Structures are given as C-alpha cells and as structure tokens.
Amino acid sequence: MSKPTVGVLAVQGAFIEHERRLSEAGASPVELRCAADISADLDGLVLPGGESTTQLKLLHELGMFEPMLDMIQAGTPVMGTCAGMILLAEDVEGGAANGFRTLPIRVLRNAYGRQLGSFSAEGIYQPTGQEMELRFIRAPRIESVEDGVETLVSLDGQPVAVRYGNQIACAFHPELTDDLTLYEEFLKI
Ligand code: GLN
C-alpha cells in the first residue's frame, strides 16, 4: 500500500514539526501554501498550532478557506492542533474565530495560556489508558462537547483531544513530543 499523502497547512505556525512527525508515522506530508496546493489527491489535512486569527485571515486572503472546507465537509480526514482545533470548533469563546465550524465542540481561546503560558503535563490516552506527555502553549480549553464526540486524551478528567468522525482535534502540541500515538490514530482514518 502506498503512503498516505497529508496536506499540512503551511501559511503560519508550527507546520514543519508536523511534517517530521507525519513522516515518522509513515505518511508523505506536503505543504499547503496556496489554493493550487489543495487537491483531491490529498488523503488528509493537518491544521497546525499558531495564531488562529492570523491563519484564518490568510486562509481567506489566499482563497484556501472554501476548498479546505469543502474537503472537510466531504469527509477528508483532518487533524487540528491548538489553533487548528480553534479553526475546526463550532463554537469559540474568547475572541473571534469564524473558522470551518465542522466539529461540534465549544472551546475557550487562551484558556490555559494567560496564567501559565506554556507547560507540560501527563494526560491519559483513553483507548488504552496509557499516559501521554502533553505540551501546551497558550492553549484553548475544550469547554463542552456534543453527542458523538469521543474523548481521545484527557487531562485531570477533562478532554484535551477529541475525535468526531474523520476529525481529530487537540488542545496540545503532539508535534513537539516523541509520542506518535495521535498521528497513528489519524493515519488509521
Ligand atoms: N493562542 C492561539 C490562538 O488562540 C493558539 C495557540 C497555539 O496554537 N499554540 O489562536
């Protein structure tokens, strides 16, 4: 079987680290920098961390928003991390982000960020109960989830990574640790 090709949004934020992790997990990453890079050949999409308002502005300016939304709505697997999760969330508190809104969760921007900035923590990968090292950087908090949204990783009993159909989203940065679990989960889809 050939390697899945995964498009990584590369207009702003932590996309290079995602490309490394995707390669380690057995995928072929390609950078998405303009509308012409978005093709039906892509097996999946990754929305990296960064600054969601800047990313959204660029997505619209570059004409990338609509084609990406079409792909996500058509069921192309997508993984959104941190700012990427904000772009997927149906409801966003703490400052405007009118993103794709395909994932029925409510998030609060910069919820962990103001007091703590960045930190590491041990979460639990729910499908196996194993511990997972998590890195947070001015992270959004998942405030609530709708029916059908599965918790993949929890921290202190609260969801910090979720899955809904072909969409995976997490508040932390899986590209900054050695743990490939979430990428493997994503590539399975
Ligand atoms: N604070 C950023 C935002 O609201 C997200 C932070 C991150 O992606 N590391 O967009």
Q: What is the pLDDT of residues 80-95, one digit of tens each?
A: 999 999 999 999 998 7
Residue with tokens 């097996």: 43
C-alpha neighbours within 13 Å on the C-beta side of residue 12 = 14
* Confidence at residue 40, expressed as pLDDT on a 0 to 100 scale: 87
* Confidence at residue 113, expressed as pLDDT on a 0 to 100 scale: 59
Q: Which pair of tokens denotes residue 171?
A: 């508040």
* Confidence at residue 112, expressed as pLDDT on a 0 to 100 scale: 81
* Chain centroid to CA 168: 6
Distance CA 100, CA 133 (A): 28
**Within 10 A of 138 (CB to CB), how many other CB atoms are there?**
17
CA of 82 from ligand 1 middle (Å) equals: 6
* Confidence at residue 79, expressed as pLDDT on a 0 to 100 scale: 98
* Chain centroid to CA 123: 17
Taking only the tens place, the pLDDT of each residue in 23-80 is 999 999 999 999 999 998 999 999 999 999 999 999 999 999 999 999 999 999 999 9
- Model confidence at 115, pLDDT cuts 50, 70, 90, reads low
Clarify whether 133 is annotated catalytic.
no
* Confidence at residue 179, expressed as pLDDT on a 0 to 100 scale: 96
Clarify whether 175 is annotated catalytic.
yes
Distance CA 113, CA 111 (A): 5
Clarify whether 34 is annotated catalytic.
no
Q: Is the model's pLDDT at 97 over the cut of 90?
A: no
pTM of the model: 0.96
The length of the chain, given as a count of residues: 189
Average the pLDDT over 143-166 and give the result: 97
**Residue 164 · residue 150 · CB < 8 Å:** yes
- Model confidence at 1, pLDDT cuts 50, 70, 90, reads low
Distance CA 17, CA 32 (A): 14
For residues 93-130, b (16+ Cβ closer than 10 Å) or e, as one string? ebeebebbebbbbebbbebbbeeeeeeeeebbbbeeee
- Percent of the chain exceeding pLDDT 90 equals 90
* Confidence at residue 118, expressed as pLDDT on a 0 to 100 scale: 87
Pocket of ligand 1 (CB under 6 A): 49-52, 82-83, 86, 109-110, 113, 137-138
* Confidence at residue 94, expressed as pLDDT on a 0 to 100 scale: 86
